[in-house]
Chains A and B, each alone.
Chain A
Amino acid sequence: MIQVILKRLLMLIPVLIGITLIGFMLLQVMPGDPASRAMGTRASPEELAAMRRLWGLDQPLWVQYLYFLRDCVTGSFGVSIFHKVPVIALVAERLPFTLGIVAYSTLIALVVALPFAILAALKRGTAVDGAIRQVFVALIAMPPFWLCYVLILWLALGQGWFPTGGVGQGVVQNIYRLFLPALVVGLSTAALIQQSLRAALIDTLKADYVDTARAKGLTGAQVFLRHVLPNSLISTISIIGVRVSWIIGGTVVVEKIFSVPGLGSLLIDAIVARDLPVIRGLTVFFAILVVIVNLITDICYALADPRVRLE
């Protein structure tokens, strides 16, 4: 197991070299001059030239790329032109909020999806199943930005139960303050989980080994909890894995609306400011996270299903 994990991590190196190359090249195509963005419109040509020299923007492309590689290897991922601090420091500041939203929203998704998936599967084909399906399809169809504003208007401004945005100090306060953004992200995850888990449950309920379990004299609840649910949940693991990869960089809108200083909003700010080192550094960092999440997903899968082996 450990060996397989190490091997998978080693295989990450060529992937990352490819990603640095693509990320670097794409940014060269992007219009806009980082120096003039950083200095403002009133900077003189001499000042701009000095700025370019300072950040290495006057060097040939391949030299710039090698500098970038050096920064990745040394772990700083470059220095932000705008913030003037290493990219890794910016990431470290914001990563906890992003991971917080990942964990929090996944928890909410499971709490919401599990009972409704079970109910829908047990009542499949009935009006109850149909009604649940309609609600969850609506959840998938709902644009997150719209849901954000509805929740802010209703629960934050209307009822005054939650703040309209921002983060606080410490875990407890953030569990409260991050509830609405985590809810928005979690509800669409819940919709995905509910649909796949319902299908998996219906499949498993027909499985021969469920009849075997009933033939042993187990009660309906015992059969369900020991045989049906665990085997059905295996397919949910990969859904959560895919969702987590997406949430890490893809929750920009929610982070912006709720003023959560996460990685998504850091990336958007960097793009707007043409802060090349931050964009590049984040690209590589996201790639690393996605690969790690995939590895964790595969490990969980192998642990949950003895037929699956890590390779």
Chain B
Amino acid sequence: MSLLSIRDLRTEFTTPAGIVRAVDGVGFDVAPGEIFGIVGESGCGKSATCRSILRLFGGAPARVAGGQILLDGVGDLAAMPERAMARVRGRDVAFIFQDPLTALNPTMRIGRQIAEVIVRHRKIGRAEARAAALDLLRDVQVTSPERRLDAYPHELSGGLRQRVVIAMALALSPRLIIADEPTTALDVTVQDQILRLLRARRDSAGTAIILITHDLGVVSQVCDRVAVMYAGRIVETGPVREVLDRPAHPYTRALIAALPGQAARDADLTPIEGSPPGLIAPPPGCRFAPRCRLARPDCALGAPPALRARTPGHLDACILSEVPDVLA
């Protein structure tokens, strides 16, 4: 039984140039206690997919235009009225934003910001909430937590602020945490600490995590399963080792080939030519076809190809029956 089950999700942004279909028929499942990675370039729809789950679009003119977001024991979040959705946010599903520098209210003390989420969902007094906030800061290994409670965000370093953001996410022991590039804004050593913290939480409390990133290294380090997104659709998904070691879709292969390798230096770096298509009027057929070195004429025909399994649990959306191994 999966904890979260997304079916044919469609999310649209209304822009002056037209309707951008940022998420166009995305579906995946997340099991309890699983760390599920979503990777892709900027603008591929990975962030929009996850923001759709809790309907947090940062004031952008976006809406979930179709599909289902089934949360176990709660129902279809996509069809849920705002009032009921507010009770799910923070309690069943928590969200960690990318930039800890801007994700905290600059004029509110840390302790109050953490306590706020507890007070919202539980009948609890001010002092109790403050004590709970202190415990949470300890849980995320903030040094001298008593002192931080009354600090303002600008008095903390980026790494500490991200720990505070994580403390707020952990406050009510949600079953699912969505982390939208939680380490992108941090330097490498801090990145590692934050990822360990998230994984430790999964190991101790069985919290499922959806981790959005553009960093395949992060994926291989912490994720159990991964989905690769391109132009609003998932092109490949499966267990991390499977996808990274035996990538099936040409886009996944190109993505891995574009990584700086360990052996050679320049020879290993193979950039992907061209840029992703616009999502107001995406090209027909496979959306990667215009940039794909293996594309055949029938790749650019009809509807985008659906995901299908080559081996059990490892799915990809390439119509070629045998993908030649020319890129890897």
Contacts and interface: CB of A to CB of B under 8 A. Distances in A.
Interface of A: 205-220, 222, 226-227, 230-231, 234, 304-307
Contacts of B99: 208
B56 A218 contact: no
B244 interface: no
- The 3 tightest CB contacts between A and B, nearest first, are A217-B90, A216-B117, A215-B95
Given A206-B58, A208-B58, A307-B154, A215 B89 contact: yes
Contacts of B199: none
B104 interface: yes
A308 B321 CA distance: 63
Contacts of A207: 102
A310 to B, nearest CB: 16
Given A216-B116, A216-B120, A217-B120, A305 B56 contact: no
Nearest to A215: B95
A205 B90 CA distance: 19
A167 to B, nearest CB: 40
A209 B161 CA distance: 12
A231 B94 contact: no
A299 to B, nearest CB: 16
Contacts of A216: 89-90, 116-117, 120, 168
A213 B105 contact: yes
Interface size class of B (residues with CB under 8 A): 20 to 34
Contacts of A307: 106-107, 152, 154
12 contacts: A205-B59, A208-B99, A208-B102, A212-B97, A212-B104, A215-B89, A217-B86, A219-B83, A220-B82, A222-B120, A306-B152, A306-B154
Interface in B210-251: none
Interface string B198-214: 00000000000000000
Given A206-B59, A207-B102, A212-B165, A231 B87 contact: no
Given A216-B168, A218-B86, A307-B154, A209 B105 contact: yes
A218 B116 contact: yes
B30 to A, nearest CB: 18
Contacts of A220: 82
B91 interface: yes
Contact of B56 (A209, A211, A306): A211
Given A209-B103, A216-B90, A219-B83, 12 more contacts: A208-B103, A211-B56, A212-B104, A215-B54, A216-B120, A217-B90, A217-B117, A234-B107, A304-B107, A306-B107, A306-B154, A307-B106
A215 B107 contact: no
B142 interface: no
A307 B151 CA distance: 11
Interface string B42-86: 000000000000101011000000000000000000000011001
Nearest to B83: A219
Interface of B: 54, 56, 58-59, 82-83, 86-91, 94-95, 97, 99, 102-108, 116-117, 120-121, 152, 154, 165, 168
Contact of A231 (B59, B90, B106, B117): B106
Nearest to A212: B103
Contacts of A304: 107
Nearest to B51: A211
Contacts of A231: 105-107
A86 to B, nearest CB: 46
A231 B152 CA distance: 14
Nearest to B116: A216
Nearest to B100: A208
A24 B251 CA distance: 79
A307 B106 CA distance: 8
Contacts of A210: 58-59
A231 B102 CA distance: 13
Contacts of B87: 217
Contact of A208 (B89, B94, B97, B168): B97
Nearest to A206: B59
B227 to A, nearest CB: 22
Contacts of B58: 206, 208, 210-211
Given A208-B58, A211-B58, A212-B97, A217 B105 contact: no
Contacts of A227: 105, 108
B154 to A, nearest CB: 5
B177 to A, nearest CB: 11
Given A211-B56, A306-B107, A217 B102 contact: no
Contacts of B82: 220
Contacts of A211: 56, 58, 95, 97, 103
Contacts of B154: 306-307
A212 B168 contact: yes
Nearest to B112: A226
Contacts of A230: 107
Nearest to A305: B107
Q: Which of A218, A230, A304 has the most CB of B within 10 A?
A: A218
Most buried by B among A205, A215, A222, A305: A215
Nearest to B88: A217
Nearest to A202: B59
A231 B153 CA distance: 14
